[in-house]
Structure 1
Amino acid sequence: MTDEQTKEIRRRLDEDLSLDEFERDYRSTGEAATQFFQDLFVQVLNFEETTSPLGDATWQDIPVYEWPNTTRANAARLFAESGNFRVIYVELEKLTRTAERNAIQSLTRTDRTSGWAIDGSFLTVFHAPDEDIWHLVTPYEEGTEDITTGRPVLRRYTLGEGETHRTVANALSSMDASKGRLAERIDEAFRVKPITEDFYENYKRVFDTLSKELRRKGLEIEDADRYAHTMLNRLMFFYYLQKKGWIGDRKNFVRWFHEQYEESDEEDVFHEKWLSALFFDGMNSPEGGEINADLPTEVESAVAGLPYMNGGLFQPTEEDERDTFLSDSALKSVTKEFLEQYNFTVTEESPYDIDVAVDPAMLGKIYESLIAEQERGEAGIFYTPRTEVDMMCRVAVYEQLATRSAEFSSLDVRQLVEFVFTEPHKWDATTDNEREELLDAIRELNIVDPACGSGAFLVGMKQVLTELYRKLGETPDYDLKERIINENLHGVDIKGWAVRVAEFRLWLSLIQGEDELPDERPVLPNFSFKLYTGDSLIQSAGSIELPSFEEIRRDATEDVFKKLQELEAAKDGFFQGNIEDQAIIEEKQRELLTAYIDDRVESLEGAATTQSTLGGGATESSQQSAAEAEAQIEQLEMLRERILADKFTDFIWELNYPEVLLGGGFDVVIGNPPYVRQEDIIDQGINPTRLEELSSNEISDLKSEYKDDLREFVETRFDVKPYKTSDLYLYFYFRSMDLLRKGGTLSFVTSNSWLDVDYGVRLQEFLLTQGNVKYILENRSQRTFEEADVNTIISIINKESPERLAGRPSFVSVYDPYSQFVDIETLNSVLVGDEKESETLSFQENDLLVRNRDSWRSVELSAAALWRLGAGTTALTGNGDEEAIPQGRYSSGKWGKYTRAPTVFFELAGKTDRPLSRLGDECTIRRGTRTGANQFFYLPSKYYDARREGENLVLQSTGEWPDEDYETEMHIPKEYWMHQTDDGWEPNLVLKTSKSFDTTIFGLDSLELGKGLRYLLVIDDPKSDLKGDINEYVEWGETYDPSQDDLGRKRTGFPSSVSGRGIDWYDLTEDLQRGDVLPMKNINTRHVYWFPEQRTWIDDRLHGIEVPGEEHNRRFLAGVLNSTYGTLSCEVNGRVNLGQGALDIATDDHKATLIPPLEEVDRNLKAKIAEQFETLGTRSVSSIFDELGTSTPAELSFDSVADDRLELDRLVIQDLFGFDEDTHRQVYEGTLELVSQRISKADSV
Structure 2
Amino acid sequence: MAKPKLDTDRARKALQEFRFSDLFIEELGWNNPTNKKSIPLKDGDGQVWNAKEISQLSGFRVFEVTSPDAAIALPDAKSQEVLWKGLTAQAVENVAIFVDQKRSQSLWLWMKREDKKFFPRRHHYLKGQPGDLFLSKLASMAVDISELDAEGNIPITEVADRLREALDVERVTKRFYKEFQQQHLDFLALIDGIGDERQRRCYASVLLNRLMFIYFLQRKSFLDGGNVRYLQEKLEQSRKQGRDKYFSGFLHTLFFEGFAKPEKERSAATRKLLGQIRYLNGGLFLPHKIEMENKNIRVPDKAFANLFALFERYSWNLDDTPGGLDDEINPDVLGYIFEKYINQKEFGAYYTRPEITSYLCEQTIYKLVLDKINAATPPRPRKFDSIPDLLLALDANLCHQLLHDILPSLSLLDPACGSGAFLVAAMKTLINLYSAILGKIEFLHDRALTDWLAQTRAAHPSLHYFIKKRIITNNLFGVDIMEEGTEIARLRLFLALVASAHSVEQLEPLPNIDFNILAGNSLIGLLKVDPQRFDAIGEKRNGGRQGLINLKHKGATTELPSFEVETTVVPSQREKDVAFVAQRNAGKFAAILADKNKSIELYRKHAFKSEEIGPLDQDVTLIQLRSHIDNVRKDSYAKLNQLLLDESKRSASSSSKPLGTTRKTRKANQSSTRSPWPTSRRSRPSIGATNSTRSSTNAAALMPSSPTHRGRYSK
1:492 matched residue in structure 2: 479
**2 CA distance for matches of 1:519 and 1:18?**
17
Does structure 1 residue 287 correspond to structure 2 residue 263? yes
Contact 1:493/1:535 (8 A) holds in 2 = yes
The AA in structure 1 aligned to 2:67 is: E
Counting aligned pairs with the same residue, the percent is: 21
2:211 matched residue in structure 1: 235
Contact 2:137/2:167 (8 A) holds in 1 = no
> What is the CA distance between 1:219 and its match in structure 2?
3.2
**2 CA distance for matches of 1:505 and 1:477?**
17
Q: Deviations over 1:553-611 (max 9, x none)?
A: 9x99xx9778655533321211233654223224555799999999xxxxxxxxxxxxx
**2 CA distance for matches of 1:333 and 1:449?**
35
**2 CA distance for matches of 1:498 and 1:341?**
25
1:657 matched residue in structure 2: 688
Q: Is the alpha carbon distance of 1:573 and 1:330 closer, same or farther for their aligned partners in structure 2, counting shifts above 3 Å?
A: same
Decide which of 316, 326, 334 is 2:299's aligned counterpart: 326
Does structure 1 residue 81 correspond to structure 2 residue 67? yes
Contact 1:283/1:308 (8 A) holds in 2 = yes
What SS does structure 2 have at the residue aligned with 1:353? coil
1:585 matched residue in structure 2: 629
Decide which of 454, 457, 476 is 2:422's aligned counterpart: 457
Contact 1:210/1:228 (8 A) holds in 2 = yes
- 1:797-946 equivalences under 5 Å are none
**2 CA distance for matches of 1:428 and 1:417?**
6
Contact 1:361/1:505 (8 A) holds in 2 = no
1:567 matched residue in structure 2: 596
**2 CA distance for matches of 1:349 and 1:22?**
18
> What is the CA distance between 1:652 and its match in structure 2?
4.1
Q: Answer with 1 or 2: which has the greater Rg.
A: 1
Does structure 1 residue 530 correspond to structure 2 residue 516? yes
> What is the CA distance between 1:650 and its match in structure 2?
4.4
Does structure 1 residue 365 correspond to structure 2 residue 336? yes
Decide which of 354, 360, 363 is 1:395's aligned counterpart: 363
The AA in structure 1 aligned to 2:353 is: P
Q: Is the alpha carbon distance of 1:493 and 1:658 closer, same or farther for their aligned partners in structure 2, counting shifts above 3 Å?
A: closer
2:244 matched residue in structure 1: 268
Q: Is the alpha carbon distance of 1:503 and 1:164 closer, same or farther for their aligned partners in structure 2, counting shifts above 3 Å?
A: farther
The AA in structure 2 aligned to 1:368 is: E
2:431 matched residue in structure 1: 466
> What is the CA distance between 1:395 and its match in structure 2?
0.8
- 1:558-707 equivalences under 5 Å are 564=593, 566-577=595-606, 579=622, 580-586=624-630, 650=682, 652-653=684-685, 656-657=687-688, 660=691, 663=694
> What is the CA distance between 1:438 and its match in structure 2?
2.8
Does structure 1 residue 209 correspond to structure 2 residue 186? yes
1:432 matched residue in structure 2: 396
**1 CA distance for matches of 2:691 and 2:210?**
32
Does structure 1 residue 502 correspond to structure 2 residue 502? no
Q: Deviations over 1:71-109 (max 9, x none)?
A: xxxxxx995126864469xxxxxxxxxxxxxxxxxxxxx
1:1055 matched residue in structure 2: none
> What is the CA distance between 1:483 and its match in structure 2?
2.1
**2 CA distance for matches of 1:322 and 1:485?**
32
The AA in structure 1 aligned to 2:196 is: E
Contact 2:413/2:689 (8 A) holds in 1 = no
Contact 2:596/2:632 (8 A) holds in 1 = yes
Contact 1:138/1:154 (8 A) holds in 2 = no
Contact 1:429/1:471 (8 A) holds in 2 = no
> What is the CA distance between 1:48 and its match in structure 2?
4.0
Contact 1:78/1:87 (8 A) holds in 2 = no
Contact 1:453/1:495 (8 A) holds in 2 = yes
1:548 matched residue in structure 2: 528
Q: Is the alpha carbon distance of 1:745 and 1:117 closer, same or farther for their aligned partners in structure 2, counting shifts above 3 Å?
A: farther
**1 CA distance for matches of 2:265 and 2:5?**
39
2:21 matched residue in structure 1: 32
Could you list the runs of 5+ residues in structure 1 that have no partner in the other structure? 1-13, 51-55, 60-76, 89-115, 126-133, 140-151, 175-188, 420-426, 540-545, 599-623, 637-646, 666-738, 751-1245
Q: Is the alpha carbon distance of 1:465 and 1:210 closer, same or farther for their aligned partners in structure 2, counting shifts above 3 Å?
A: same
The AA in structure 1 aligned to 2:688 is: Y
What SS does structure 1 have at the residue aligned with 2:691? helix
> What is the CA distance between 1:209 and its match in structure 2?
0.8
**2 CA distance for matches of 1:561 and 1:436?**
33
Q: Is the alpha carbon distance of 1:47 and 1:548 closer, same or farther for their aligned partners in structure 2, counting shifts above 3 Å?
A: farther
The AA in structure 2 aligned to 1:386 is: P
Q: Deviations over 1:802-850 (max 9, x none)?
A: xxxxxxxxxxxxxxxxxxxxxxxxxxxxxxxxxxxxxxxxxxxxxxxxx
2:407 matched residue in structure 1: 442
Aligned residues: 499
Contact 1:136/1:157 (8 A) holds in 2 = no
What SS does structure 2 have at the residue aligned with 1:413? coil
Could you list the runs of 5+ residues in structure 2 that have no partner in the other structure? 44-49, 54-62, 76-99, 109-121, 142-159, 439-452, 458-462, 536-587, 607-620, 643-660, 674-678, 697-705
**1 CA distance for matches of 2:9 and 2:347?**
51
2:580 matched residue in structure 1: none
Q: Deviations over 1:1137-1196 (max 9, x none)?
A: xxxxxxxxxxxxxxxxxxxxxxxxxxxxxxxxxxxxxxxxxxxxxxxxxxxxxxxxxxxx
2:125 matched residue in structure 1: 137
- 1:329-348 equivalences under 5 Å are 329-335=302-308, 337-343=309-315, 345=317
Contact 1:495/1:534 (8 A) holds in 2 = yes
Q: Deviations over 1:696-726 (max 9, x none)?
A: xxxxxxxxxxxxxxxxxxxxxxxxxxxxxxx
**2 CA distance for matches of 1:205 and 1:349?**
26
Contact 2:139/2:166 (8 A) holds in 1 = no
Contact 2:11/2:23 (8 A) holds in 1 = no
Q: Which has the higher contact order (CA 8 A, sep 6+)?
A: 2
**1 CA distance for matches of 2:11 and 2:505?**
31
Q: Is the alpha carbon distance of 1:224 and 1:560 closer, same or farther for their aligned partners in structure 2, counting shifts above 3 Å?
A: closer
1:220 matched residue in structure 2: 196
Q: Is the alpha carbon distance of 1:492 and 1:746 closer, same or farther for their aligned partners in structure 2, counting shifts above 3 Å?
A: closer
Contact 1:396/1:746 (8 A) holds in 2 = yes
Q: Deviations over 1:626-669 (max 9, x none)?
A: xx9xxx9xx99xxxxxxxxxx9994744x64276355359xxxx
Q: Deviations over 1:948-974 (max 9, x none)?
A: xxxxxxxxxxxxxxxxxxxxxxxxxxx
What SS does structure 2 have at the residue aligned with 1:389? helix
Contact 2:282/2:510 (8 A) holds in 1 = yes
**2 CA distance for matches of 1:386 and 1:515?**
24
Q: Is the alpha carbon distance of 1:370 and 1:251 closer, same or farther for their aligned partners in structure 2, counting shifts above 3 Å?
A: same
- Relative to its length, the structure with more strand (as a share) is 1
Alignment TM-score, normalising by the size of structure 1? 0.34
Q: Is the alpha carbon distance of 1:493 and 1:349 closer, same or farther for their aligned partners in structure 2, counting shifts above 3 Å?
A: farther
Does structure 1 residue 123 correspond to structure 2 residue 89? no
> What is the CA distance between 1:509 and its match in structure 2?
2.5
**2 CA distance for matches of 1:18 and 1:211?**
38
Contact 2:67/2:101 (8 A) holds in 1 = no
What SS does structure 2 have at the residue aligned with 1:660? coil
Q: Is the alpha carbon distance of 1:20 and 1:749 closer, same or farther for their aligned partners in structure 2, counting shifts above 3 Å?
A: closer
Contact 2:414/2:710 (8 A) holds in 1 = no
> What is the CA distance between 1:327 and its match in structure 2?
1.7
Q: Deviations over 1:174-218 (max 9, x none)?
A: 9xxxxxxxxxxxxxx9xx9x5232321221121111112337x66
> What is the CA distance between 1:552 and its match in structure 2?
7.9
> What is the CA distance between 1:501 and its match in structure 2?
1.1
What SS does structure 1 have at the residue aligned with 2:282? coil
The AA in structure 2 aligned to 1:480 is: I
Q: Is the alpha carbon distance of 1:461 and 1:388 closer, same or farther for their aligned partners in structure 2, counting shifts above 3 Å?
A: same
Alignment TM-score, normalising by the size of structure 2? 0.56
1:197 matched residue in structure 2: 174
Contact 1:162/1:243 (8 A) holds in 2 = no
The AA in structure 2 aligned to 1:576 is: K
- Relative to its length, the structure with more helix (as a share) is 2
